[in-house]
Amino acid sequence: MRAAGFVLLLAHLSVVYWLTLRPRTVPWVPEANLRPLETIRTELALGPWEAVQHLGGAVLLMAPLGVLLPMAGGRLTASALGSFTRTVFTGAMIAFVVALLQGTVPGRVPDIDTVLLNTLGVVLAHLVVVPAYRARLRRREDPRRGRTPTIARVGIAPQADVLSGSRT
């Protein structure tokens, strides 16, 4: 499970790299947004449908990290709060590094709201998937449970003569 999580994590990060750090040829580039919630407010002012379309991509981009980071860690007995904290911190740092690197790529600009939305995606994915999946794996691999007991085949018991009063 840990190896599969690590491979999927690397595959996802390479897709994130390709989507966010490729140079773009555009005639102009807006300035970097370093004021939190400014882009989110602007998108929400356009209407709910436009906001979902524009902001949803940022939420979904890093959301798989909320599942892949604990999967690559492979700890079934980790505390829920510890796992959540590690996952959110790591996801936020990855989003922050991607935003910093975007400042060095032609045609890309860093946006602090993208970091916040990426982190929100990590939080939501972790809360929705990881606790239930981890509980399922714990139940499946609990060594105290052992195998499901089976009942051996038993033949029909001999008939006793209850009404006769004999003790034989």
Check if the beta carbon of residue 92 is closer than 8 Å to that of residue 115.
yes
Q: Which two tokens stand for residue 30?
A: 């807006």
Q: Looking at the domain assignment, is residue 58 inside a domain?
A: yes
Q: Looking at the domain assignment, is residue 44 inside a domain?
A: yes
Q: Looking at the domain assignment, is residue 66 inside a domain?
A: yes
For 76-92, what is the mean pLDDT? 91
Using alpha carbons, select from 147, 121, 9 the residue that is nearest to residue 57: 121
Total domain count, the chain: 1
Q: Looking at the domain assignment, is residue 156 inside a domain?
A: no
Q: Looking at the domain assignment, is residue 163 inside a domain?
A: no
Cα–Cα distance, 42 to 167 (Å, whole number): 93
Q: Looking at the domain assignment, is residue 132 inside a domain?
A: yes
pTM > 0.85: no
Name the β-bridge partners of 33: 111
Q: Which two tokens stand for residue 36?
A: 């939190």
Residue with tokens 């807006």: 30
Interval 15-58: pLDDT, tens: 999 999 999 888 888 888 999 999 999 999 999 899 999 999 99
* Segments forming the whole domain that contains residue 123: 2-23+33-140
Cα–Cα distance, 52 to 43 (Å, whole number): 9
Interval 110-148: pLDDT, tens: 999 999 999 999 999 999 999 888 888 778 766 665 555
DSSP secondary structure letters along 102-136: HTTSTT---BHHHHHHHHHHHHHHHHHHHHHHHHH
Q: Looking at the domain assignment, is residue 166 inside a domain?
A: no
Name the β-bridge partners of 111: 33
Instruction: Look at residue 146 in the predicted model and tell me its pLDDT.
Output: 56
